[in-house]
Structure 1
Amino acid sequence: MVDTAGLPARSAALRMLDAVLRRGDTLDTAAGAMRSMPSSDAALARAIASEVLRRLTDLDELIDSATRQRLPDDAKVRTVLRMMLVQALRMDTAPHAVIATGLPLLTGGPRRLAHGVFSALLKREAKLPEIPTLPPEVEARWEEAWPDRLDAIAAGLAEPPLLDLTLRNPAETDLWAERLDGKVLAAGLLRLPRGRAVDGLPGFTEGAWWVQDLAAAIPAMLLGQGEGRRVLDLCAAPGGKTMQLAAAGWQVVALDIAQRRLERLRQNLDRTGLSAEIVRADALEWSPDAPFDAVLLDAPCTATGTCRRHPDVLHRIAGRQIADLTELQDKLIERASGWLKPGGRLVYATCSLEPEEGEERAAKVTLSPDPIRADELPAGLLPTDRGWVRTDPGMLPEIGGLDGFFVARFRL
């Protein structure tokens, strides 16, 4: 393979896409295999792979319009063409650079085919739609679940998300907004432009903040100030909600089953100077020594609500995965409900756009509802008629959107 500048990043992007689309790996897992690459190459590879996954349906429609015989979905030449087109049409890469770094990924006939298709589409000034077309199965699911929100959700996927930060000390919101040139979303929550290296920003080293999407910050916010009370953060890693709770004065027990994710939680606590008792255990087998004043269950889920930043979920998740996870969610809710003190609160949350993982699970909870109020939420968000919270990527477009989340609160 020719040693062309930029070629290693394109080769890595090709491997990432193969891992996601053929093996069903997450994009994070696929990107993790690129740790030995220079950070600039790894970032570019992920950006290309993410944009292909965001625009896959529309890219394939363009490719199919320029070929006499439809290329197989898993054909290498199709994936390379997806990458070439998305760079030219969405990432403002010059066509000669696209060709120089794309064609070396192929040999023989496929190389000539890719060159011909790419050149033909550029010659006819092909374009991608402003709003991505959802994969057919995803569109069918979400049209049934959210018929009035489908177009807005698709529009919310058009661009990668901005950078949201949660502050260790909400009293310093204005200070850090000025230092970081950020927009205030709520007390202790800031939004910055994308594309800035997180570990180089002011406040990172001293642990003044951590990265956390606006929607992901809501569940812990709904437990309020801890005042020394005990809370269990169930399925806690990588630690954003643990740090929120600790900063709000809770005595936190942070439980998770994944050793690697717990290590990230420890690193985050060390950096921010916050403390929590860390427990590595299976929540379906573990039991606490004493009940808690509150339990935060951010349950394992399909994570389809994070499709702005993890567009691989649009292509990996289907009905089977949803059904498997709802069974686990019910078991976790049942166990968590039994670990509360009288009057204790349970917050149940998922970063999913599937009602099976949100509204349908909450409707089965046997605890008393503790409705969420509008004045507890960031500006622009309102609770549902049942006192739950439902967000999606199409909401708050005036500030750049947010992830899809479901949140409900209950009391023993």
Structure 2
Amino acid sequence: MNEKHKGAAGKTRPRPQNGSAPRDQEPFKPGLAARIAATKILSAVVDRKTSLDGMLDAEHGNPSYTALSDADRALVRAILNSALRHLPRIEAMISALLDTPLPEGARSLQHLLVVAAAQMIYLDIPDHSAVDLAVEQANRDPRSRRFSKVVNAILRRVGREKKDLLEWAADISCVPEWFDSRLKAVYGEKAAHAIGEALLSPASIDLTVKSDPARWAETLNGVVLPTGGVRLRDFKGAVSTLEGFEAGEWWVQDAAAAIPARLFHGLAGKRAADLCAAPGGKTAQLILLGAEVTAVEQSANRLARLQGNLQRLGLSAQCVKANLRDFKPAELFDAILLDAPCSSTGTTRRHPDVLWTKGPDDIAKLAKVQEELLAHAVTLLAPGGQLVFSNCSLDPAEGEDVVASILAANPDLRRVPIAPDALPGLEEAVTPLGEIRTTPAMLGARDGVSGGLDGFYACLISKG
């Protein structure tokens, strides 16, 4: 970084005089509570590996978030999504503007600066508002109060120099170092960079429709995808307000998530099981393919959600609450779909906290769980049956390696290669072994809609 990207040193803020109330007891300025909430939640994600979804739950989330108005909650979500997507670049910019690194343990101050910089660089929020509220926030925090002048100086420079800073930071990967190294090892440097850049864009809203995707694309202002679903154009509202929702004509499902159920052959009249079934999108697909479906889910809450979704869609399945490891049906299944729990690293476009709350140890642990679940699932499959194993991880340790291990241990199983022409428009997702491997960098923008899809792995296996 050149000389112009250096900051100013801070000074200790004087104590209040003449009996005036401490700053942290004064009423909040409008918008300050939202910034404080965003800073607290960012700290919980990055420092304590806490899931963002839970903290942003409208009823049971972080108290600093649930206390906000709907407008301020939306602002907090926007700040956090931008901050987490661009975190390495934002932190690099802040570091470049500091004369000396922040003190060891000054994490609250670091997160405060990130929250403010994210607003100024990536959101349509006036610079003066972001700076003013950040300084006010620093003054109210005993840990950061003595750095309030540093906050003011650094953020003002961010405002003046944001164009230069963005150009300077453009080559910095926006995924954590541990994940960047894994991407490069698996996909190569060029593809890893493309995936990292694709993760910066929010996911579009994709729908799986019961029938006639062309009509629904026209009705809902979308385009038909190679997966047979519909992608909406720049829709920002609640999907429940769209035509066809109440009638159960479609459901929200990422384009990649719609692929695994499409890999089965001839399900009409067959007994099929969707294991780890909630929220039910794949269950619905299996039903529409003509199968008699048993949906297995361990969580009572998630099972209730699945049942509610099927009810809206006017579809029915036998729903079973069970731990998959203990599930033993009276009769073997002709088809099984196991979309196994995983690190979810392929869903970072819509869940930008994933790469900051997970790590290599989590991938290793989850891969072991997946292998155990798949080993049990194959015992539930009838001779001649089909099994699709899938998950939304970008890491082969949770996909290709799991399947390879199970095939090696079970001579009666074989991989059924998927032909590239089975996914017209997404041929690049079919691997040389005939497995499916999508990345967020696939499915380019077209017809006025953005590109990309979740990272997904899927493999079709037959028995006997």
Please, what TM-score do these two structures have when normalized by structure 2?
Answer: 0.83
Residues 95-128 of structure 1: per-residue CA shift (max 9 Å, x gap): 1232344334332224332222101222233433
Report the CA distance between 1:397 and its aligned residue: 2.7
What is the aligned counterpart of 2:192 among 150, 158, 175? 150
Q: CA deviation at 1:195?
A: 2.3
* Other-structure match for 1:386: 433
Question: Quick check: 118-127 or 34-43, which moved more?
Answer: 34-43
Contact persistence 2:227–2:423 (CA under 8 A): no
Contact 2:131 2:156 in 1 (8 A): no
Please give the per-residue CA displacement for 1:242-261, whole angstroms capped at 9, x wherever unaligned. 12212222221111212222
Q: By how many angstroms is 1:187 displaced?
A: 6.5
> SS where residue 70 of structure 1 aligns?
coil
Shift of 1:194: 4.6
Q: Which residue of 2 aligns with 1:94?
A: 126
1:111 to 118, 125, 148: 148
Which stretch of the first structure deviates more once superposed, 73-82 or 152-161? 73-82
User: What is the aligned partner in structure 2 of residue 164 from structure 1?
Assistant: 206
Between the aligned partners of 2:313 and 2:268, the Cα distance in structure 1 is 19
Distance in 1 between residues matched to 2:126 and 2:292, nearest whole Å: 54
Tell whether the 8 Å contact from 2:227 to 2:255 is kept in structure 1 after alignment. no
* Letter of the structure 1 residue corresponding to residue 308 of structure 2: Q
| Alignment partners' CA distance in 2, 1:74 and 1:285 | 48
Map of 1:260 onto structure 2: 301
- Mapped to 2, the partners of 1:8 and 1:376 lie a distance apart of 51
1:241 maps to what in 2?
282
Matches within 5 A, 1:7-406: 7-32=32-57, 33=61, 34=65, 37-71=68-102, 72=104, 75-107=107-139, 108-125=145-162, 126-128=164-166, 129=169, 132-147=173-188, 148-167=190-209, 169-170=210-211, 172-186=212-226, 188-192=228-232, 193-224=234-265, 226-366=267-407, 367-382=413-428, 383-399=430-446, 400-406=451-457
Instruction: Call closer, same or farther: CA 1:215–1:96 in 2, change over 3 Å.
Output: same
| Secondary structure of 1:92 counterpart | coil
How much identity, in percent, do the aligned residues show? 38
Q: Distance in 1 between matches of 2:240 and 2:263?
A: 29
TM-score, normalised by the number of residues in structure 1? 0.93
Counterpart Cα distance in 2 of 1:123 and 1:16: 28
2:427 alignment partner AA? L
Distance 2:217 2:180 in 1: 38
SS in 2 for 1:238: coil
| d(CA) in 2 for partners of 1:289, 1:281 | 14
Whether the 8 Å CA contact 1:173–1:187 is kept in 2: the answer is no
Q: Give the letter for the 2:196 counterpart.
A: A
Q: Is the CA contact 2:438–2:453 (under 8 Å) kept in the aligned structure 1? A: yes
Contact 2:439/2:454, CA 8 A, preserved across alignment? yes
CA distance in 2, matches of 1:244, 1:105: 49
Distance 2:227 2:28 in 1: 50
How far the C-alpha of 1:130 sits from its partner, in A, is: 5.2
- 2 CA distance for matches of 1:319 and 1:14? 26
